[in-house]
Copies of this chain bind each other. A is one copy, B any other.
């Protein structure tokens, strides 16, 4: 009997860590999650992950081979296999393959969430067949994964893809990174919230958003208000698209991608964010790039995207090693 090959994709988050067994076509045959317990050491998380994953694997009735492990985590370094001082986790420098090999004698790869998502899009999603594209995640911050000549750009040190920390305004908003005016302080779920508050301060017009405190406001609320034609919410989306479009034009000038894929919470606002971003992006493009670069939504929207991305990472490594030629 031919057993079916699977990889284990793991997404380590600040609250929960999800995992799934994924085949080479991106089908997740089983998934689950456990609490991360961010105050505990990394070893504790991997110990509990292994127990749970093993338990779940038994449901596959011994007709599958596990052949590799892919992990997406904040501040993960692909080259070194480390997670370094991850925000929201009480860890310092964690050597992941060293921990994983206690449980599995299998190839293991790790990268940050946005890079994993980019590989996921390339293998299973919107970017299938593309050799040059940029994935942008619009969540709490702005993450990015850059693909050039069919390969993820990790750069000299494994930290490439920090488009969220390109500078929109050197005298602008305070960023969590300690600098000012980074793109992600404008173009992210948090960024649009800050924009709403700036507009509420500057303008006199009525808005339902005047009744919500900063700490309760979410990008989803802004999106819903905009759909009810709230002028402040609409202006906030327009401004977010203006900043994002301008800076994406810079990214395009660098790399001339076939497409830019928007992903994450704020991207779910659909036309509200896509239309202004596209408009301002085109306005700021050098002539030779105009009307060429697609702005697309992610197709990995079935809830376990991060797990699929992590699985795609290790499938990609296995394909590269030529032991497991890609089939479709």
Contacts and interface: CB of A to CB of B under 8 A. Distances in A.
Interface of A: 130-132, 146, 148-149, 151, 153-163, 165-167, 170, 177-179, 246, 249-251, 253-258, 284, 286-289, 292-293
Given A148-B153, A154-B256, A167-B246, A159 B288 contact: yes
A253 B288 contact: no
Nearest to A166: B250
A151 B154 contact: no
5 contacts: A132-B156, A157-B292, A160-B256, A162-B254, A165-B286
Q: State the main secondary structure of chain A at its contact with B.
A: loop
* Chain multiplicity (copies): 2
A149 B146 contact: no
A255 B170 contact: no
A258 B149 contact: no
A250 B162 CA distance: 9
B166 A254 contact: yes
A91 to B, nearest CB: 16
A50 B132 CA distance: 36
